Amino acid sequence: MEYTFNTFDKLLDICGSENKKIYEVMQEKEACDFELDINTVRNKVLRNINAMKSAVKQGLNSDEKSLSGLCGDDCLKLKEKYKKNKALFGSLYEKITLYALATMEENLRMNKIVACPTAGSCAIVPSVIIALSEEKNISEEEQINLLITAGTIGYIISSKVAMAGAVAGCQAECGVASAMSAAAAVQALGGNEKQIINAAALALKNILGLTCDPVAGLVEIPCVKRNVFLAIHAITAAELSLAGITSKIPPDEVVDAMLQTGQLMSPLLKETSQGGLAVTKSGIIISKELNKRN
């Protein structure tokens, strides 16, 4: 079907009038726009899921450092911690945090990951979808549905805000990834289409103003740990939404606020490494030492 939507309102209208799920509308749209059949679209999504799983698997068993030597052994530290003392919030929490670290560390080792939406935010969506799928015995077909729904959230947001730290700070990278994950989590836990979109809005609302100030310009500090935090953040948004707690600011207006916040954000805080953490005393020392090595 030829669907056109650039807003959450429009998407929900289509879902309502056609009596279809978000992922059904999106996969039909993608198939139509690119003259593919739906199975081809779904297979492409599956390839992405499989690549995400491979990254998690490999990352869980590696302590190889990044090119800079700054990061790379945190996942194993967390794994050891959970062996000794289980996580307070249970096994889903353990898996999400471990999978997010595993993926992000694979990324900075120059191994294979899936940009989702970007490489710097590549660990949030996979950690949530894979951990939930394992914990809730979710079938491969439904995992594909979850990733399509997550992608739909990013698709709509990116029609207004480009997904780049240089444009709107980390709001547009890890923030969007968290909103995408919240939506997927609600779907995995049986929420309806409205709750799915609402969860994305709740997640997004809570990261407005998030800057992009990486130390030495690298996707490492604070990006690695931020991916872990924002994966858990998505679950909070999903729980609230499933309880029927709604964003008093409608989802499309939250995106507008995000865009405006990005425009108001100083360029020093948008992927230029000229503000925030990047110019702290320690941030500058790290940066200088890396430059010396170059």
Partner 1 sequence: MKQRSLFDVISPIMTGPSSSHTAGAVRLGMLVRNIYAGRVRNVVFKLYNSYASAGKGHGSDKALLAGLLGCKVDSPDIKNIFNLPASQDIKYSFEFEQNLDRHPNAVDFILEGERNMIVSGNSVGAGNVEITKIDDFAVKISGEYNAIILFYKDKPGMISKVSTFIQNENINIASLECDRNAKGKIASMCICVDGQIPQSIINNIQNIDDVYFVRNIKKLED
Binding site for partner 1 (CB under 8 A): 26-27, 30, 33-34, 41, 44-45, 47-48, 51, 66-68, 106-120, 122, 125, 147-148, 150-152, 154-155, 158-159, 162-164, 166-167, 180, 216-220, 272-273, 290-291, 294
Write down the least CB distance from residue 250 to partner 1, Å.
22
Write down the least CB distance from residue 160 to partner 1, Å.
12
Write down the least CB distance from residue 230 to partner 1, Å.
16
Question: What is the distance between the alpha carbons of residues 156 and 142, in angstroms, rounded to a whole number?
Answer: 21
Exposed/middle/buried for residue 198 (C-beta within 10 Å: 0-12, 13-18, 19+): buried
Write down the least CB distance from residue 198 to partner 1, Å.
20
Question: What is the distance between the alpha carbons of residues 39 and 12, in angstroms, rounded to a whole number?
Answer: 24
Q: Helix 38-59 crosses helix 124-135 at what angle (to 10 degrees)? A: 90
Residues forming beta bridges with residue 270, ordered by sequence position: 212
Q: Given the complex with partner 1, which of 69 and 90 has the nearer CB atom?
A: 69
Q: Given the complex with partner 1, which of 172 and 240 has the nearer CB atom?
A: 172
Question: What is the distance between the alpha carbons of residues 280 and 190, in angstroms, rounded to a whole number?
Answer: 44
Question: What is the distance between the alpha carbons of residues 107 and 68, in angstroms, rounded to a whole number?
Answer: 13
Could you tell me if 167 and 157 are in contact, meaning their C-beta atoms sit under 8 angstroms apart?
Answer: no
Position 288, amino acid: K
Exposed/middle/buried for residue 83 (C-beta within 10 Å: 0-12, 13-18, 19+): exposed
Write down the least CB distance from residue 247 to partner 1, Å.
21
Close Cβ partners of 35 (under 8 Å, ≥ 6 residues apart): none
Close Cβ partners of 243 (under 8 Å, ≥ 6 residues apart): none
Q: Given the complex with partner 1, which of 26 and 242 has the nearer CB atom?
A: 26
Q: Given the complex with partner 1, which of 4 and 137 has the nearer CB atom?
A: 4
Q: Given the complex with partner 1, which of 55 and 76 has the nearer CB atom?
A: 55
> Among 170, 169, 165, 186, which residue's Cα sits nearest to residue 239?
186
Q: Given the complex with partner 1, which of 114 and 174 has the nearer CB atom?
A: 114
Write down the least CB distance from residue 219 to partner 1, Å.
4
Position 142, amino acid: E
Write down the least CB distance from residue 272 to partner 1, Å.
8
Q: Given the complex with partner 1, which of 45 and 76 has the nearer CB atom?
A: 45
